Amino acid sequence: MVHNPHRAHGRPSGQARTSDSKAASPRSGKEGAAPKEESGDRVAKMLARAGVASRREVERLIEAGRVALNGKVLTTPAVKVEAGDILTVDGAVVTEAEPARLFRYHKPIDLVTSHADPQGRPTVFGALPPGLPRLISVGRLDINSEGLLLLTNDGGLARALELPQTGIVRRYRARARGRVTQEKLDTLKNGVTVEGVHYGAVEAHLDKAKEGPQGANLWITVVLAEGKNREVRRVLESLGLKVNRLIRLSYGPFALGTLAPGEIEEVGPRVIREQLAEHIAPGNMPKGDRPLWKAPPAPARGPRRGAVELDRGGVAPGRGGRPGRAPARSRKPPGEEPPKKMEYKAGWAKPKPKAAVHKTAGPKRRPGAKPGGAPKPPRA
């Protein structure tokens, strides 16, 4: 039996709990007031939702002393931000999280998926067009890989789509050199361990094989749901294949489509609500149906040789304003010199002169007379 000192002094247990709560909350204004519940989100979660960086990157920012709360530099991410607190990163105030936005980007090769590269190589975010919000990537593509890269302003959404537990399917097309059979590719469905790292089930299909002098050139479609670092390359290398080109075709319900390398397109809010509602906080759910950002128009090119320029109404200038007609010739203003004859240079084909037409002399006709008819008799 557990000894209760409060019962020994003849006090009800309810009063004892009240006094304990009173002692545990010395900052409470009144006696017997309930303890103040902690509110707010952790600093890493808030900065991730605001699109500043991922949670792991936020921890690095805090370690570097770049994050401050109410003017005090933070040394640990185990801090909660409450309403009215001022959170800054590199001296810039971080505002509340905006509604979640998502972009499809066709990453070309030779770009690093990072905001800044220690080696000074060009980055994905440095190549984006102006006018976009601060974005972070959903996963990564290495510098030699290309294809679909999802970008978002919501760090929580990016984290949810990256986790293997979410089961988001990624589809790739790999070009490799070597020789392999479909039966050997099917063994990847059971998973494989490469240099101590275990990779889950991978579905690979041999699309095309062409024999060459130095081996076979293969095209392989790879489908996986983990997305570990360089997973496709390492898994295929375990079968003796050397991947020399890797293209990501889709990420979950989003496909590369017809995006050209370097192009970016925003996903509409309605599509985000339909496809990703379970991964977005209710307060960050976007509204509306149309994207907020549109790609800037491509730079206008000069008119092609022989092309007809259009007027503001989209109609080619011409007689009667009908499209496709050449502009009418203007009459020569009085006093203008006649155009000079074209001088032909060596190598040009000079036009042949037209043969002269000799007309036979005949009787002169009076005005009104028909050709070939007899002359009218003179009037009396």
**Positions marked catalytic:** 142
Distances (CA, A) of 64 to 53, 67, 233: 14, 8, 33
- How far apart CA 150 and CA 267 sit, in angstroms, is 10
Reported in sequence order, the residue ranges of the chain that DSSP labels E, i.e. its strands, are 41-42, 67-69, 72-73, 80-81, 87-89, 92-93, 102-107, 136-137, 145-152, 170-177, 192-194, 197-199, 203-212, 215-224, 242-251, 254-255, 264-266
- How far apart CA 242 and CA 200 sit, in angstroms, is 20
SS3 280: coil
Closest C-alpha among 37, 38, 35 to residue 24: 35
Distances (CA, A) of 47 to 26, 122, 277: 31, 25, 20
The torsion of the CA quartet 178, 183, 189, 192, rounded to 10 degrees, works out to: -50
